[in-house]
Amino acid sequence: MIVAVALAGALVLGPLAPGPAPAASGTVRPGDSGAAVLHLQKRLRALRYDPGDRDGRYGKETETAVWAFQKVHRMRPDGIVDAPVWRALERPRRPRRLERGPRRRVEISLRRQLLTVYRRNRPVLISHISSGTGRHYCEKGACGVARTPTGDFRVFRRARGWHRSRLGYMYRPLYFHGGFAMHGSMNVPRRPASHGCVRVPLHTADRLARLVPNGTHVRVRR
């Protein structure tokens, strides 16, 4: 689907939203392509989300970025970009901070399934996540409760590329508590689905690893 898009004036949100914001009509859905999708991707990237390649095609990478945007704006994360979403893109809000903290940190909200990386106390990456299910499991000889730990931690170790753990593969894991890590995954659904780690979309894991060095404070809250 191709939707006509016109450029509106620039928004005053400091470094969070540089450049003009799109005003649009119509609805854009996963599988669509065209000028409206390209504007959507550019706008999401300017707002510090990660829609993947800016190629005018609404694929899975763009959909997970839309989910994150919708959650920040208290919308149902369905990936459908309709009039309310276009209006929010014109006048976006910042993610709600969990608490005051170090100027450089990662905040993870398990309730909203959302991760935000801060530098100089400003968001530089906002991503959808999938955390622990909270259910009991027994897999590959290991049993436990798939619960993501809450608290204040620091990134203390990382691995490049794909890493095989006891319960499966992780892409570019950033360990913050024992064997728990933020890592890329090919399966990051809208619901909690992990054994306890914090999954991010596969294409986002590279950006996350570049933005989060060892020693970075990680705050996880319900």
Q: Average pLDDT over the chain, rounded to whole?
A: 89
The per-residue pLDDT for 25 is 60
- Tell me the two tokens of residue 196: 């306890």
Q: What is the per-residue pLDDT across 58-68, written as a single tens digit (0 to 9) for each?
A: 999 999 999 99
- Tell me the two tokens of residue 76: 């149902």
The per-residue pLDDT for 18 is 46
Strand partners, 220: 108, 151
The per-residue pLDDT for 11 is 33
Residue 218: pLDDT above 50?
yes
Average pLDDT over residues 3-23: 41
Confidence label for 101 from pLDDT (cuts 50, 70 and 90): confident
The per-residue pLDDT for 1 is 45
Q: What is the per-residue pLDDT across 130-187, written as a single tens digit (0 to 9) for each?
A: 999 989 988 777 888 989 999 999 999 999 999 998 888 999 999 999 999 999 999 9
Percent of the chain with pLDDT over 70: 89
The per-residue pLDDT for 98 is 85
Please say whether the beta carbons of 185 and 171 come within 8 A: yes
Q: Residue 49 and residue 65: Cα distance in Å, rounded?
A: 6
Average pLDDT over residues 185-195: 95
Q: Residue 145 and residue 137: Cα distance in Å, rounded?
A: 6
Single pTM value for the model? 0.87
Confidence label for 99 from pLDDT (cuts 50, 70 and 90): confident
- The CA radius of gyration of the chain, in Å to the nearest whole number, is 18
The per-residue pLDDT for 163 is 93
